[in-house]
Structure 1
Amino acid sequence: MFRIPRPYRRPISPGQAGTAELGSTAPLETYVLQRLASTGCIPVFAGTAFANGLDIPDHEIYDPAVMAAENAVNFMIGWDNDLISYAKEKFHGEVGTNVPDLVSTGRS
């Protein structure tokens, strides 16, 4: 039976960085949590186990080392995307919607 072991529907406020449409940005810590929820990795991890016919016990899924590895992959994908799309977002006037903007403006 297919199940997604941990909730992947985390609340995400409007805009990539929270309040970008209103001319302000969320603090870096808030953006980081939102980015974890917006990369799409969490359902992919669960779907990969299902597609391979694996029934991974909860004590392994919730192991701190496994969760840390999942978060590391999630951060790498999200932040790489921020770096790769940075020039395009600047060109289109999207300011404060990625990690480079938040770090460069000291919003930590």
Structure 2
Amino acid sequence: MTFRRLAAVALSTALAVPLIALTASPAIAAPVCSSGDGKTCYWSGQNLTGSRETHSTLRNACIHLSDFAARSAWNQSGYKLTVYETASCGGHYQSVASGGKINRPTWTIGSFKLT
């Protein structure tokens, strides 16, 4: 092999390696919220990202999320979930059927109720 050919192969390999490194990306784990009677999950970030808090509760009880500032939720309870802006199930609210997900970009979830 001549010096020019060897240099050309080395150059093309050197240029291809960074391109491969730029296109390879690690897999992102899907959020998990197992289903069950009264089971709901809350995340600190939008789109089920960040820290997670899981609750199992009875229907028609207003549950305060205490010090957890949730921005998204996944309802796996088997019932309708309503999330509220305040700690006492008041203010702005949003409801979703079982299996549904909620994203709150403008206010955090302060409490919730299953009905």
TM range (shorter): under 0.3
- Name the structure where helix makes up a greater proportion of residues: 1
Q: TM-score, normalised by structure 2?
A: 0.23
Larger radius of gyration: 2
- Name the structure where strand makes up a greater proportion of residues: 2
Q: TM-score, normalised by structure 1?
A: 0.24
